[in-house]
Amino acid sequence: MDRTPSVRVGIDVGGTFTHAVALASADGTVLGKVRVPTTHRAAEGVALGVAQALRRLLDEGSIRASQIAFVAHSTTQATNALLEGDVARVGVLCLGQGLEGAKARRDTDLGKLDLPSGSVDVPHRYLDRQREGEGAEERLARELASQGAQVLVAAEAYSVDDPSGELAAMEAGRQVGLLATGTHEVSGLYGLRARTRTSVINGSILPKMMSAVEATDSAVRALGICAPLMIVRSDGGVMTADEVSIRPVRTILSGPAAGVAAAVVHLGIADGVFVEVGGTSTDISVIVDGRARERTATIGGHRLHLRTLDIETISVAGGSMLRASRDGAVEVGPRSAHIAGLPYYCFDPEAQPSEAEWIAPLPGDPAEYIVLRSGDARWAFTVTCAQRTLDGHCPPVGAEAAAKLLGTSGEALCRLMLRAAGQRVAEVVRRVAEEANLSGARLRLIGGGGGCDAVLPAASEALNVSWQRCEDADVISAIGVARAVLRESVSRNIAAPTEDDLAALRAEVLAALVRMGAAAERVEVQVELDAAAGIATATGTAPANLETVPVDARTSEDVEASARRAMGLANEAPLDLLCEVGDLRVYRSRVKRAGIGGLLGGRREPVAVVDGCGRVRLQREHATVVVADREGTSQALRGLVEYGDHGARVPPTVVVLAGRLLDLGGVPEVEAAEALVRAELAGYPAAMPVAFVRGDR
């Protein structure tokens, strides 16, 4: 039996640098980390940088290719293709008949599709099933190809229920040399127009993504690595290369998602704002109850049938260049040193600038950016340069040269640059925190990325909120990639789902993950209901191989201390352990509130749910907790029901199950909530408790 220690490798492809990290599969120890410039302009694309990072990681970490059990990378290819207009022409072949077909024809004829880079034509053909004979699909596919289509999208009204028509049209497209996809492949939701729009965007990046994945896979194989290549999805999980060749659109926001995944899985953040500061941009995301918020993706103003992590990206980062108007007003960005093709002044030990000058980094940019120069040599003076100058790690001559143009001192200029960057971040943090109702002890800033030390202190000061730099901040996204799990999500329009409906949805997700290589017994599936929209969503996760990266367990005293910190309790304050549900422990305290004039204003009952590793999974400022066994869950749930003008409804409630939480916030109908809880408890030991935590965030 081979007892060679196995290694998990994560590679984060950023706008400026590509980071790679190796973790021990047994305990998550960082075995090595490297950084190389991202190879945007190389003939091999970013695959060259991935290969360079992998080769250095193996050499410097003394890691053998045979030890690597898992390798995955984030990608900016999909996002960049849409931003830069590097997309393929897509043709739509719609199928239908009668009046319903006429509506489908209108819904799928997009004419043009607006992308961030501009509008693209979308040729369209309609196949009337009642009038067209055998072979019509291939004839229409040839017509689309003659109009320049490289990819065919097959679209039919109810293909999510019966995809046979779309599958036949896709095969016809392949017969005439087109890549092909169907609307049923990208979403299980009704709404043909949104499904078609999502599929067209998916098809437009299909050739680019297939080429990129093949190049990266070849680079990995050339190093002798046999583990299958995984790619990070926009929801923070990973998918196989085969899945990317079907649904590349799911890799949009792949890079930022990796950092958020690390914040949740590796850092164990329960509530807070994770701010990852790179060289080109900063990604800001809210984490609530140990989960990153999600949103419906929008591209070119179009809402898609695609869920992504809710990440705000702004063009301010460690590599943002000094920008100033001629009257001395100081700003930073949006251009970075990478975009301008200039080295950072602070990282060039040979730099000896003699003066500074205004430039336009790219054609069409205003000549408002200040760079340092000496003869023909030029350097960017960035936000990171400003911070390192103030810290004494960078010669002040660069700051003084730039400041001379503005009639100020080098120190003053550096502080103005850092304040400008911090305020930009603070504005977004303030807004997203308010939207998520994060305040008080639950609002904290966690910084990741190589530029967080330059940007977060000023943002923290502007917000009057503390911040902390996470461990291994420079490679936190790569760690998130290395620790990612297989993930699949399926949504269906089910207004009043029965237990059989929920079981079928679970089975569909389970089958999809098993096809990706997951072991069925390792798959965890959670179902969420959006009663207002009539949508049921099943999300499944599973280890990408048989090994996981565990987090060290903590003592009972450590776990209790985590609960006290979450609730803002002093060591002597009373704290009750209400129950243990598998690895989760539910704590509650009773705290007196001060009223007007110092009189008592009642009590608050904060609640925290903490796992055995000391990670806070849920916290509420004031909540009611009801504990029941499996047989008593319906009675316990109905005991929480509120009655009003609109009848009975379930208030905001989280169910604590063994190892996971079930949020009933989107399920106000009592019967639907009961069906969901029963489905989650299938196979649950009768004696194991279930806790219901009722209370607003």
Q: Which tens digits make up the pLDDT trace of 426-446? A: 999 999 999 988 888 778 899
Summarize pLDDT for 123-145 with one digit per residue, the tens.
999 999 888 877 899 999 999 99
The secondary element (H helix, E strand) that includes residue 400 is: helix 397-406
Question: Three-state SS for 545?
Answer: coil
The answer for residues whose C-beta is within 8 angstroms of residue 647's C-beta and 6 or more apart is none
> Does the pLDDT at position 119 exceed 90?
no
> Does the pLDDT at position 278 exceed 50?
yes
User: What is the C-alpha separation between 287 and 274, in angstroms, rounded?
Assistant: 7
The secondary element (H helix, E strand) that includes residue 45 is: none
Distances (CA, A) of 246 to 182, 205, 650: 9, 11, 39
CB 418 within 8 A of CB 458: yes
Summarize pLDDT for 605-617 with one digit per residue, the tens.
889 998 887 878 8
User: What is the distance in angstroms between the CA of the first residue and the CA of the last residue of the chain?
Assistant: 50
Question: Three-state SS for 8?
Answer: strand
Mean pLDDT of the chain: 86
Amino acid code (one letter) for 588: R
* Residue 156: per-residue pLDDT: 96
Q: Of 251 and 646, which is predicted with more confidence?
A: 251
* Span 208-226, average pLDDT: 88
Residue 318 CA from chain centroid, whole number: 21
CB 552 within 8 A of CB 29: no
Summarize pLDDT for 52-77 with one digit per residue, the tens.
999 999 999 899 999 998 899 988 77
* Residue 549: per-residue pLDDT: 46
pLDDT category at 175 given cuts 50, 70, 90 is very high
pLDDT category at 5 given cuts 50, 70, 90 is low
> Does the pLDDT at position 578 exceed 90?
yes
Give Rg (Cα) of the chain.
Answer: 27
Global pTM reads 0.77
* Span 538-542, average pLDDT: 83
User: What is the C-alpha separation between 509 and 479, in angstroms, rounded?
Assistant: 26
Q: Which residue is it, tokens 């996760």?
A: 541
Q: Of 44 and 409, which is predicted with more confidence?
A: 409
> Does the pLDDT at position 462 exceed 50?
yes
> Does the pLDDT at position 82 exceed 90?
no
User: What is the C-alpha separation between 78 and 63, in angstroms, rounded?
Assistant: 31
Rounded to 10 degrees, the C-alpha dihedral 650/653/657/659 comes to 140
